Amino acid sequence: MKKMLPCAAGVALLAMLPGCASSPAMTPQQTLQIACPPIEAAMAQLIALDASMTDVPAAQKAAALLTQAQKPVAAACTAGATITATNVEGLAQQALPALGTVLATVPMPPQTQAEIQASLVGIEVVIGAAGVIEKQIAATHASATANARVPAPASAP
């Protein structure tokens, strides 16, 4: 499983690169299809590490953060969940920061930390890029609508 996290992050990144200038924006469903497997794997690995360190003070704080992160992950990644942009935002604004804090505070082998970190960075890129694309499309539509409504200047006689 340890070797799968960086691979999943790499696949997620590569999936976004081909034809990115001409491809349509990813839907929340497409974003989560890419983001959920590595985030679920990272959660499972962090939960297992945390459970093995019950006497470490940092692990006690990590347990609370992992519990906090589970709700947005479940809302976005559970089979049959209703997928919305809010689910993607929940992962970006709640789950990823909590997992990053756990990653930084729980003692673990450097290679394990690097693998989980690579996975989380890949997820951030996928989610961040999806948000940027959606914002760019919305701004373009708003600009086009505003330009269409502006009357042409009257010509001088």
Residue 122's φ and ψ, nearest 5 degrees, are: -60, -40
Sign of the alpha-carbon torsion through 16, 21, 23, 27: positive
> Would you state the structure tokens that stand for residue 102, as one six-digit string?
């756990």
In angstroms, the CA 50 to CA 110 distance is 15
Residue type, 124: E
Give the Cα-Cα-Cα angle 118, 123, 33 (nearest 5 degrees).
Answer: 130
Q: What is the mean pLDDT of the chain?
A: 75
Per-residue pLDDT for 39 more than 50? yes
Q: Are 1 and 41 in contact (CB under 8 A)?
A: yes
Per-residue pLDDT for 92 more than 50? yes
If we measure between CA atoms, which residue out of 72, 73, 71, 59 comes closest to residue 102? 59
Per-residue pLDDT for 22 more than 50? no
Predicted TM-score of the model (pTM): 0.64
**Which range among 1-10, 72-81, 96-105, 119-128 shows the weakest confidence by mean pLDDT?**
1-10
Q: Are 130 and 24 in contact (CB under 8 A)?
A: no
Per-residue pLDDT for 114 more than 70? yes
Residue, of 141 and 101, whose pLDDT is higher: 101
Q: For 45-61, what is the mean pLDDT?
A: 83
